[in-house]
């Protein structure tokens, strides 16, 4: 998936991957706009010209997208589980709003008993 953004210098739309990547997010449509933007900021800093900033909207990421990103990463899953275990151990999940999370942690720690193998065969 890709997100459409607008170049802060020329106003041209450009597309970037919607999944987060390492490094700074792309904010310029081209290398030429990036260089020109740098020169304009440098000149404005020295008082040579005035520049106008184009405000870019903050990306909107749904809860489901956050969950999918965490589930795609073993390290992120491990981190979430460790944080929840620590908060549960410290009693931070005793508040009513965390009751469903606390219940799920209890279920995760105590899986239901499995049925005996002979249950499927039937007793004679």
Using one digit for the tens of pLDDT, what is the confidence trace for 80-110? 989 988 888 888 888 888 888 888 888 877 7
CB atoms within 10 A of CB 110: 8
Q: Is the dihedral of CA 79, 80, 82, 83 positive or negative?
A: positive
Which of 112, 90, 82, 88 shows the shortest CA–CA distance to 101?
88
Distance (Å, whole) CA 62 – CA 68:
10
DSSP 111: P
Q: In the predicted model, is pLDDT for residue 113 greater than 70? A: no
Q: In the predicted model, is pLDDT for residue 112 greater than 70? A: no
pLDDT of residue 32: 93
pLDDT of residue 117: 56
Put simply, whether the predicted model's pTM sits higher than 0.85 gets the answer no
Pair 26, 16: CB distance under 8 Å = yes
Residue 74's pLDDT band, with cuts at 50, 70 and 90, is very high
DSSP 123: -
Average the pLDDT over each of 1-10, 14-23, 42-51, 55-64 and give the range with the smallest value: 42-51
Mean confidence (pLDDT) of the chain? 81
């Amino acid at each position: 998936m890709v997100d459409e953004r607008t170049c802060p210098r020329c106003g041209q739309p450009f597309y970037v991957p919607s999944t987060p990547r390492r490094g700074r997010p792309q904010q310029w449509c081209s290398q030429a706009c990036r260089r020109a933007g740098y020169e304009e900021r440098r000149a404005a800093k020295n008082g040579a010209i005035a520049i106008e900033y184009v405000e870019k909207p903050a990306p909107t990421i749904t809860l489901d997208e956050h969950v999918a990103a965490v589930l795609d990463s073993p390290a992120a899953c491990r981190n979430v589980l460790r944080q929840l275990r620590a908060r549960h151990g410290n009693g931070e999940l005793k508040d009513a709003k965390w009751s469903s999370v606390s219940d799920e942690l209890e279920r995760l720690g105590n899986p239901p008993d499995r049925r005996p193998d002979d249950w499927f065969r039937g007793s004679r």
